[in-house]
């Protein structure tokens, strides 16, 4: 499991290759403020290809969803709620590199 310190985000396992599945759990600002629905907003590459808004499901440990690493390069993500409020790491989003 990989945890982004003090940001309420966990990745389990931390993916690094195309085809790997990762469970992302979010306990950040939107969840703390009582959002009724949180979405993982994610895409690949510097231009955010194949953008998806994946609904996250409430669990005892936060909001969670599974995502498969569909292509190599950057995997970018942030979070939004049903009222279109965003948690995007102060505009920097979160990202890591996926290898082929």
Domain count, the chain: 1
Question: 62-93, pLDDT tens digit by residue?
Answer: 999 999 999 999 999 999 999 999 999 999 99
Q: Do the domain assignments include residue 51?
A: yes
What is the domain extent for residue 6? Answer: 2-87
DSSP type of residue 82: T
Residue 93 maps to a domain: no
What's 34's domain CATH number?
2.60.40.10
Report if residue 68 sits inside a domain: yes
Cα 48-89-34 angle, rounded to 5 deg: 110
**Which residue is it, tokens 């950040």?**
28
Is residue 100 a part of any domain in this protein?
no
Indicate whether 99 belongs to any domain. no
Q: Does the global pTM surpass 0.95?
A: no
User: How far apart, in whole angstroms, are the C-alpha atoms of residue 72 and residue 85?
Assistant: 29
Q: Is residue 6 part of a domain?
A: yes
Instruction: Tell me, yes or no, whether 97 lies in a domain.
Output: no
71 by Cβ neighbours in 10 Å (0-12 / 13-18 / 19+) ranks as middle
pLDDT at 4: 78
Per residue in 4-20, pLDDT tens? 768 899 999 999 999 99
pLDDT of residue 52 exceeding 90: yes
Neighbours of 88 (CB within 10 A): 14
């Amino acid at each position: 499991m990989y945890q982004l310190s003090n940001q309420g985000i966990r990745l389990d396992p931390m993916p690094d290759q195309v085809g790997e599945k990762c469970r992302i759990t979010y306990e950040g600002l939107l969840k703390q403020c009582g959002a009724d629905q949180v979405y993982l907003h994610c895409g690949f590459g510097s231009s955010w290809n194949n953008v998806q808004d994946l609904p996250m499901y409430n669990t005892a440990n936060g909001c969670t969803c599974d995502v498969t690493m569909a292509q190599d390069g950057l995997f970018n993500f942030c979070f939004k709620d049903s009222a279109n409020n965003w948690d995007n790491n102060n505009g920097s989003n979160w990202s890591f590199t996926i290898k082929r």
